Amino acid sequence: MGFFTSRKSEERLSTDMLAADHSAGLLTEVWSWTKSILIALFIVAMVHQYGFHLSTVKGASMQPTLEENEWLFINKTVQFIGSPNRGDVVVVKEPEASEPQPIFLVKRVVAVAGDEVRIQQGKLYVNGLFAMESYTDSPIEDGSLEPYTIPQGSLFVMGDNRHRLASYDSRSFGAVSLDKIEGRAELIVWPLSKIRIL
């Protein structure tokens, strides 16, 4: 009789050990998956914050280059490596925004620190030279701008749409500090029919 009781106890102990091992194995597996997911989310957040992300075009200020609802691939490393050049399309935090949520604008860099810009008779001049802007389809219809030298650490940005009141840009809020540059638009990624490098 004692033999059977001992055997039953051993079987119960063995079953309990298997259940404990299974439970520990399950917890280890769940923890492993949780760590992997957290690491992946952290990497995605870092890439989005400091590397690359997608941005949607709103409004008509960059026509004819960009149309509303097109998706842009934004390179954010430009904030840390070098700075945008003349002709680059950039995403800018609106300098005069008073709302808690920042407003982002897509504009083109037309002048960099040290450049002198002037607008006269519908034409843009940079450092005294007429700026050849193949990306626009009309003269500037918003009047003139007296010669203005871009301060260090700043850029002068404009929309490609030069029709009257079509773009809110540096002609309204002045030069943009480099710390307001969110990134450089590298290419259009959507719709597929319009994929191209900017």
Catalytic entry in 8, 23, 58, 61: 61
| CA separation for the pair 158, 92 (Å, rounded) | 11
| CA separation for the pair 110, 144 (Å, rounded) | 15
Cis peptide before 102 (omega within 30 of 0): no
Annotated active-site residue 61? The verdict is yes
Annotated active-site residue 107? The verdict is yes
Catalytic entry in 76, 107, 154, 180: 107
**Tokens representing 21?**
């091992």
Range 13-19, long-range pairs (CB < 8 A, 24+ positions)? none
SS3 147: strand
φ/ψ (deg, to 5) at 180: -95, -5
Q: Give 73's contacts (C-beta < 8 A, 6+ positions apart).
A: 52, 54, 185, 186, 187, 188, 189
Specify the residue for token string 């680059």: 88
Catalytic amino acids?
Answer: 61, 107
